[in-house]
Structure 1
Amino acid sequence: MSAEPVPAGNVPAARVGRYRWRVCAMLLAATTINYVDRQVLGVLAPFLQDHIGWNEIQYGWIVTAFQAAYAIGLLCAGAVIDRLGTRIGYALAIGIWSLAAMGHALAASVAGFILARFALGLGEAGNFPAAVKTVAEWFPKRERAFAVGIFNAGSNIGAILAPLVVPVVAAAWGWQAAFLCTGVLSATWLALWLARYRPPEQQPRLSAAELAHIRSDPPEPTVKVPWLRLLRHRQSWSFVAAKFITDPVWWLFLFWLGKFLASEYGLSLATIGPPMIAVYLMADVGSIAGGWLAGRFVRMGWNMNRARKGAMLVCALCVAPVALVTQVDNLWLAVGLIGLAMAGHQGWSANVLTLPSDMFPRQTVASVVGIGGFAGAEGGMAMSLFTGAQLQATGSYGTIFLVAGSAYVVALLVVHLLAPRLEPARLDLPRDPAP
């Protein structure tokens, strides 16, 4: 099936179709499973710390093992997905991380958890490069931030499901079962993906009108671009910097929130669920709202540069108050500050993850996302080691949350300096021969 790109305004909205949103729903489901898998440890950490006997520094190394593998995986995953395509590349990634998630049930020591987390990080690294590339293939630029915001909400849904389900499963069948049960979800998604997913031009259920809508942006070159060549451009470095500076804050929330709530407010495995669920529900709203906000600014007449950065500024300001969280005595006030910060991060991410498709052609998007994800994971490793050392030495989260609260304003300034107009990178790609 093929169709010539046409301006979106020439296709009546009622005739465009909505199949692309079904694809987005599959990305949402995959991201949800991805975060359920990685968040199981975060929920069980206070219990496993006593059961296995690790200290704060050792837990920092367990978290860092995941992030190191995630960084390595992201550096390779983008290029692999660009080469294999989203259908096979995504399937490969979820197959690896499913086996690794279940492998945690075999761990009985700090070394065992380090190995399991490393394997999980390698597999899970493929999720965001594959999902962002799929969005670039299935959505015109004006819809991409909203689509990214929707699938990125899966990170919060997964983080909500984990504290709901994990304590129940662990109490009934043991902590090993909590890791094993995620394999069923992953296998189900993998089977559906392989059975149903095809690129737009090969999808028989896609109407010609919707394909024309998807391809309504100006055509892009189709040649392959080595990822090292991408690093010559400051547009790449703007995305890398944004991820390196702000991803560590999300890693902090993901792996240390349960420990923070347990140590500061005396919560147990049985009582930690409601505060964590509240935090991630707020993050879910932020993920979708952040993508919607950029689109709203565009509809108000703002250009893409102003709209994207305006939305990022709003999100950055939502994170800043988390610096005060260690100064409050009330659990739910602390939950509110952390939830607002996580909502701000997810709204920020919905826009940051759209930057590669704003500035680069579709065939390079997964590679750029992979490079940026590598930088984010490297920053996360540094944050985990810093957090473990800080807590072991002082027992205080004060400095840790101060760093978290200031990171986003700094990152936005760096992005603006490196890409002041979000102009497309000049890759000097060869032109298609004239007809």
Structure 2
Amino acid sequence: MNDVSQTTAMPTLGAKVGRYRWRVCAMLLAATTINYIDRQVFGVLAPFLQDKIGWNEIEYGHIVTAFQAAYAIGLLCAGAVIDRFGTRIGYALAIGIWSLAAMSHSLATGVLGFAAARFALGLGESGNFPAAIKTVAEWFPQRERALAAGIFNSGSNIGAIAAPLLVPIVAATWGWQAAFLFTGALSATWLIVWLLTYRTPDNQPRLSAAERAYIGHEPPGPRSRMRWSQLLRYRQAWALVAAKFITDPIWWFFIFWLPKFLHASYGLSLLELGPPLIVIFVLADIGSITGGWLAGRLIKLGWSANRARKGAMLICALMIVPVIFAAKAHNLWLAVALVGLATAGHQGWSANVYTLASDMFPRFAVASVVGIGGFAGAVGGMLISTVIGLLLQATGSYVPVFAMAGFAYLFALIVVHLLVPRLQPARLDEPPPGNPPPSPIAAAE
């Protein structure tokens, strides 16, 4: 069987069709940047809050796990809520919750207080990526989706860069509580702008007719949402679940343990952490945009979506392998280079993995499918956070953790290919191949 090419025919509209969709992408970029600033504040301050408050590695692992548990729980319903109420209202609900949760960290005085604040933050932040991916599916044709996803996903790196730049200065000047209040206020500001400006393409009066036609080649789907139990009957959903479960924990490790790794291995102070983290996440930013651009470029050259997506994912996976040597690097900047290459590979990989959802599912199901994948990634993150905490408390060695990181992506790509060898779209109007139609009793549940 030949590869199923998914380069859906576009209307011929001339070279210029408008650029309003890229303004929407800029809004998603800003939201994701703020999302990661809010998320990263705790990681930047962790080595010094640990000394101040007195938690150990196991307790720190529990605090991180609280965020990831809430993130997983939130994703059980975030995608469905966004599919049901739409991106405008769904995104607003998510960012409103995480803005309040981010500021609530300033009230914490111990392990339980921080765990509660992290739990609330995880609930709110769980809505970001389902909402953003659904917005991309609404506003972009298929050949541009990976690039758009790569651009907004680069906000995670910009946020991770901004946090070590801003947080130490704010904390040193006004105290660590002010850092959480400041970043929470950024979220609230974005929320106001979003509600005032965002509309779907069908309802956006500033969108030209040509650009609306360019975007709107896919017919709208039904308004009723599909339950997870229905979506999980399809191998396409399990491909996203596997990719996220295997590789998301590695990104969680980079986000929450890199400052601690650099502090423990090279004795960096709060202000000295800034330059290495900035370099690492600048490289990640480049990887995010390049990984999304690469797949789109290959599609334009005539590759099928299957070959282009998996080819880009393979290149990104190979970039991560050298990180296995980072824990033994005797020079700070060698370690930074190895980790930076790995974060670039992860973000390029992630831009393409997110786009798998819109490659294989219609728009009305995208946020739910991304929610399922995000839930799997958060569960994997919970597991690895507990394991890392126990491992570091017992041995103090990062070697096995970096070894896991180095080979996880190649393994994940193999699993994805076995599940969807041709990246064929899920036919949600038909029973999955090999599965009998649901019984009337099951359908009524």
Note whether the superposition's TM-score is higher than 0.5.
yes
User: Deviation digits for residues 222-253 of structure 1, max 9, x if unmatched?
Assistant: 25322220000010000000000000000000
Q: Secondary structure at the match of 2:221?
A: coil
Corresponding residue for 2:186? 185
Deviates more, 1:221-230 or 1:330-339: 221-230
Aligned residue in 1 for 2:377: 376
Aligned to 1:433: none
> Retained in 1: the 8 A contact 2:91–2:131?
yes
Find the aligned partners of 1:81 and 1:8 in 2 and give their Cα distance.
27
Q: Is the 8 Å Cα contact of residues 84 and 223 (structure 2) preserved in structure 1?
A: no
Alignment partners' CA distance in 2, 1:7 and 1:423: 17
Taking the aligned partners of 1:342 and 1:183, their CA distance within structure 2 comes to 26
**CA distances 1:87-139 after superposition (whole Å, capped 9, x unpaired):** 00000000000000000000000010000000000000000000000000000
**Which residue of structure 2 lines up, in the alignment, with residue 286 of structure 1?**
287
Q: Partner residue of 1:337?
A: 338
Alignment match, 1:222: 222
Q: Percent identical across equivalent pairs?
A: 72
CA-CA distance at 1:429 after TM superposition? 6.0
Cα distance in 1 for partners of 2:55, 2:184 equals 26
Q: Tell me by how many angstroms 1:8 deviates.
A: 2.8
How many Å separate the matches in 2 of 1:334 and 1:181? 31
- Report matched runs for 1:16-35 at 5 Å: 16-35=17-36
TM-score, scaled relative to structure 2: 0.94
Contact 2:11 2:213 survives alignment (8 Å): no
Is the contact made by 2:106 and 2:177 (CA closer than 8 Å) also made in structure 1?
yes
2:253 aligned with 1:252, yes or no?
yes
- Matched residue, 2:278: 277
Matched residue SS, 1:181: helix
Partners of 1:223 and 1:429 within 8 A in 2: no
Q: Verify the 8 A CA contact 1:221 1:429 in the aligned structure 2.
A: no
1:312 aligned residue: 313
**Is 2:15 the counterpart of 1:13?**
yes
Q: Which residue in the other structure is 1:154 paired with?
A: 155
| Between 421-430 and 176-185, the greater mean CA deviation after superposition | 421-430
Secondary structure at 1:422 match in 2? coil
Aligned pairs, how many?
423
Distance 1:259 1:71 in 2: 24
Q: State how far apart, in whole Å, the 1-side matches of 2:404 and 2:9 are.
A: 45
CA distance in 1, matches of 2:327, 2:187: 37
- The residue number in structure 1 matching 2:422 is 421
Where in structure 2 are the equivalents of 1:202-213 lying within 5 Å? 202-213=203-214
Residue 57 (structure 2) pairs with residue 56 (structure 1): yes
Q: Which residue type is aligned with residue 95 of structure 1?
A: G
C-alpha distance in structure 1 between counterparts of 2:29 and 2:364, whole Å? 22
How far apart, in 2, do the equivalents of 1:85 and 1:231 lie?
Answer: 22
- Give the superposition deviation at 1:182: 1.1
CA deviations 1:24-71 (Å, max 9, x no partner) are 000000000000000000000000000010000000000000000000
Cα distance in structure 2, aligned partners of 1:174 and 1:9: 56
Deviation at 1:332, TM superposition (A): 0.3
Matched residue type, 1:96: I
Which segments of 5 or more consecutive residues in structure 2 lack a partner in the other structure? 1-7, 432-445
- Superposed CA offset, 1:372-424 (max 9, x none): 00000000011101111110011100001100111000000000000000001
Tell me, what secondary structure is at the counterpart of 2:427? coil
Partner of 1:401: 402
SS of residue matched to 1:426: coil
Matched, 1:123 2:109: no
Show the 5 A alignment for 1:166-185: 166-185=167-186
**Partners of 2:180 and 2:114 in 1: how far apart?**
12
Q: Deviations over 1:317-338 (max 9, x none)?
A: 0111101111210100100000
Give the superposition deviation at 1:184.
2.0
- Superposed displacement of residue 300, structure 1: 2.1
Is 1:47 aligned with 2:51?
no
Deviation of residue 10 (structure 1)? Answer: 1.4
**Is the 1:167–1:270 contact (alpha carbons within 8 Å) kept by the matching residues of 2?**
yes
